[in-house]
Chains A and B, each alone.
Chain A
Amino acid sequence: MNLQEYRRRARTWLEANAQDTEAEGTPDAGGVAAAKAFMARMYDAGYSGISWPGEWGGQGLTQAEERAFAEEAAGFTLPTYVFSIGLGMCGPTLVDLGTPEQKARHLRPLLRGEEIWCQLFSEPGAGSDVAALQTRATPAEDGWTVTGQKVWTSVAQHASHGLLLTRTDVDAPKHKGLSMFIVDMRAPGVTVRPLRDMTGRAHFNEIFFDDVHIPAENLVGQVNDGWSCAVTTLLHERLSISSGVGMGGRRDNPVAFEALRHTADTADPVVRDQLVELHIRSRALALFNERLSQETKAGVFPGARGSAAKLLLAELTMFQADLATSLAGPGAVAYEEGGGRLAEAISLAPAMALGGGTNEIMRNIIGDRVLNLPPEPRVDKNVPFKDLKVNG
């Protein structure tokens, strides 16, 4: 089937199946059941795991079909948020690094939405510097015993499985004593607690592991080679953020130019120029993203240049929420006015500059890997982890 025909069929399917769907953010239990039913339909129609290997439940097609479907889906709001961590990060990591048994057991249920996954890397003392994590996995009979705390874990309250990064050797330097595991989120000793963030809602969770048993066959990759596995996952994370996998489309945005031109007082030349600035920044980033996408189609992969797009998106997100609230004036800070959407937007705006790597980390990546600047001297690279200064 040629791409145009593929695209046409995808659109037909979306129009028939995704017309009335909605769900932004994490759904409740009823929403999860509906999302699972939608995901099963999407899988059975052949639109989940489009470019994943056929032998593990994928469709075995190319990035071209994957992209075509994503472009068609952008006009709809798909209820796929609870699957986004599994589809964007955990699943692709298992495709790359999992054992045949792990792939056979986990990938098809993940793609069909039967099992929800979360990712367990960040800790209270290890955010940007994730290799400083302290959750310990110690050898036990038939496997490992895990104790520690994770944080910023999306969809964990609905997850049956997690991809967990732990420390297995404190005598090795920080990057050389980590191991990755698949963890059963319903196992005894796993506690999931919602984390109330600055929006007043719980987009994330904290997870506590108290002597949790993990079977030996759940190791991903090699013992103490967890860092290179984590790099694979993080690469998939950045790609999934920039391509919007599983995020669904947004039909309207109260802080974007198209909304503000109708709500702001454009008779005021100061307001007009502020809107022009927003237009310039929005167009500049949109054209950069379009160029990266055209380069990718032509076989030139963006690599670390994607970090520039992520940094610019974070800055634009902050700028437009800041501008929209300033233009609206006193009403912007009352949740009773305009559905509280501006207060919501300014509360949520910092998230883009923090999640998936802070703006400062993005600038380090651009400097080190795009401009090839000399690295910052490091005091933590070759020191045994137990001798290193870490957050208490």
Chain B
Amino acid sequence: MKLVLTEEQRELRGAVRAFLAAASPLPEVRRAVESETGHDPEVYRRLNGELGLAGLVVGEEHGGAGAGYAELALVLEETGAALLPGPFLATALATILLTEVGDKELLPGIAAGTTLVTVALDGGRALNGAEADVVLAIEGPRVLAIRGGDRTPLTTLDITRRQAKVDLGAGEEIASSPEGVARARDLFAVAVAAEQLGVLRASLDAIVGYAKLRVTFGRLIGSYQGVKHRLADMHCKLEQAESIVRYAAWAADEAPDELSSAAALAQAYVGRACFEVARDNLLLHGGIGFTWEHDAHLYYKRAKADEVLLGPPRTHRTRLAGLLEL
């Protein structure tokens, strides 16, 4: 089991973090979500070009970088922390699914950054489903590809990430693999947990920073135990969430037998912890945290949207109970 980062992984994380801090700070995020596409295509051009992230886990034979899921998790942590708008996670999920069922047709376009592919989740909802060139749908062991067809944009709680309801009727089968689909579902859980870790971390950073600036009753609020002790508990959640995500990402690459239970653990723990920390970040800000201008609600809403993205949270706990043979 490997829970600490290699030198190369730290470099990758540092590069992505620095790029997003410069190219997509929160004021830019707000500007981008108001635009027609809902994200800044120039940021994506550079992410895919300079950093080569579109094809990060796509195999080299399809024009990708052939990196591991541990590397993808690191990048998702950073795009989550930055609340990067647009189809980054959607593309990651599509890449995972196509890779696991052995697709050859769509992966090169994803790696080149020219084809936008997403995955329809429960109820036919797909992240960035309106703008995607191809929507993938899972039916039992089969993977269907839907080009065109009816796409109804939804008004989402999380304004930083769009969704659409997709008519799955016109799908054409591109693969069938019970093992591939099952593994992909576990990997979705790991990928979302990695993003949640980033949202959690950024929420904690925000409130720790504010606790060192904001004064009440003649004192910085971080000096009050009523605040300090809650921040300490939030830090404990971060430490455990990070440990679980590193473990699940390691299992994704190195320990297929442990992947299912690691993935269910990751969603059950990190999904809840992320929402709780994002919630407490907002609450500890006081009234300012309830305003539209303040960023706390953006994290809070992303945390809730992520927590239910792959189904009601109880499904991960039920899955865990089954895997533990309870």
- Tell me the A residues contacting B by CB distance below 8 Å: 261, 266, 272-273, 275-277, 279-280, 283-285, 287-288, 290-291, 294-295, 298, 300, 305, 308-309, 311-312, 360, 362-364, 366-368, 370-377
What are the residues of chain A within 8 A of B242 when measuring CB–CB?
291
A368 to B222, CA, bound (A): 9
**B219 contacts the other chain (CB 8 A):** yes
Q: Which residue of A lies closest to B241 (CB)?
A: A284
Q: Which residue of A lies closest to B235 (CB)?
A: A366
Please name the 10 residue pairs, one residue from A and one from B, whose CB atoms are nearest each other, closest first: A367-B228, A373-B222, A366-B232, A363-B232, A287-B243, A284-B240, A291-B3, A363-B229, A374-B223, A374-B220
Interface string of B235-256 (1 = CB under 8 A from A): 1100111111011000000000
Which residues of chain B (243-272) have a CB below 8 Å from chain A? 243-244, 246-247, 265, 268-269
**A273-B317, A295-B4, A373-B208 given; A288·B232 CB < 8 A:** no
Q: Which residue of B lies closest to A289 (CB)?
A: B243
**A291-B4, A294-B3 given; A276·B321 CB < 8 A:** yes
**A272-B326, A283-B265, A373-B231 given; A312·B236 CB < 8 A:** yes
**A275-B321, A280-B320, A363-B229 given; A373·B4 CB < 8 A:** no
Q: Shortest CB–CB separation between residue B10 and chain A, in angstroms?
A: 11
One of B219, B240, B268, B321 near A287 (C-beta < 8 A): B240
Report 10 cross-chain contacts, Cβ distance below 8 Å, ordered by A residue.
A277-B317, A279-B324, A283-B265, A291-B4, A295-B4, A363-B229, A363-B233, A371-B232, A373-B228, A374-B222
What are the residues of chain B within 8 A of A360 when measuring CB–CB?
225, 229
Q: Shortest CB–CB separation between residue B202 and chain A, in angstroms?
A: 15
The answer to whether B265 and A280 touch across the interface, beta carbons within 8 angstroms, is yes
What are the residues of chain A within 8 A of B31 when measuring CB–CB?
none
What are the residues of chain A within 8 A of B220 when measuring CB–CB?
374
Between A266, A287, A362, the greatest number of chain B beta carbons within 10 A of the residue's beta carbon is seen for: A287
Interface string of B7-18 (1 = CB under 8 A from A): 000000000000
Category for how many chain B residues contact A: 35 or more
Q: Which residue of A lies closest to B3 (CB)?
A: A291
**B82 contacts the other chain (CB 8 A):** no
A273 to B225, CA, bound (A): 33
**B2 contacts the other chain (CB 8 A):** yes
Q: Shortest CB–CB separation between residue B71 and chain A, in angstroms?
A: 18
What are the residues of chain A within 8 A of B22 when measuring CB–CB?
none
In the complex, the number of residue pairs spanning A and B with C-beta atoms less than 8 Å apart equals 119
Dominant SS at the A interface? helix
Q: Shortest CB–CB separation between residue A156 and chain B, in angstroms?
A: 33
Q: Which residue of B lies closest to A315 (CB)?
A: B236
**B46 contacts the other chain (CB 8 A):** no
What are the residues of chain B within 8 A of A266 when measuring CB–CB?
326
Q: Which residue of A lies closest to B325 (CB)?
A: A261
The answer to whether A261 and B246 touch across the interface, beta carbons within 8 angstroms, is no
Q: Which residue of A lies closest to B317 (CB)?
A: A276
**A275-B321, A288-B240, A360-B229 given; A371·B235 CB < 8 A:** yes
The answer to whether A366 and B223 touch across the interface, beta carbons within 8 angstroms, is no
One of A279, A280, A311 near B232 (C-beta < 8 A): A311
Extra A-B contacts (20), CB below 8 Å, given A276-B268, A366-B231, A367-B228: A266-B326, A276-B321, A276-B324, A280-B269, A284-B243, A284-B265, A287-B240, A288-B240, A288-B243, A295-B4, A298-B4, A363-B229, A364-B228, A364-B232, A366-B235, A370-B232, A371-B228, A373-B212, A375-B223, A377-B219
The answer to whether A373 and B211 touch across the interface, beta carbons within 8 angstroms, is yes
The answer to whether A280 and B212 touch across the interface, beta carbons within 8 angstroms, is no
What are the residues of chain B within 8 A of A295 when measuring CB–CB?
4
Q: Which residue of B lies closest to A367 (CB)?
A: B228
The answer to whether B326 and A285 touch across the interface, beta carbons within 8 angstroms, is no
The answer to whether B228 and A363 touch across the interface, beta carbons within 8 angstroms, is yes
Q: Shortest CB–CB separation between residue A69 and chain B, in angstroms?
A: 21
Q: Shortest CB–CB separation between residue B82 and chain A, in angstroms?
A: 21
A379 to B225, CA, bound (A): 16
What are the residues of chain A within 8 A of B208 when measuring CB–CB?
371, 373
What are the residues of chain A within 8 A of B228 when measuring CB–CB?
363-364, 367-368, 371, 373, 376
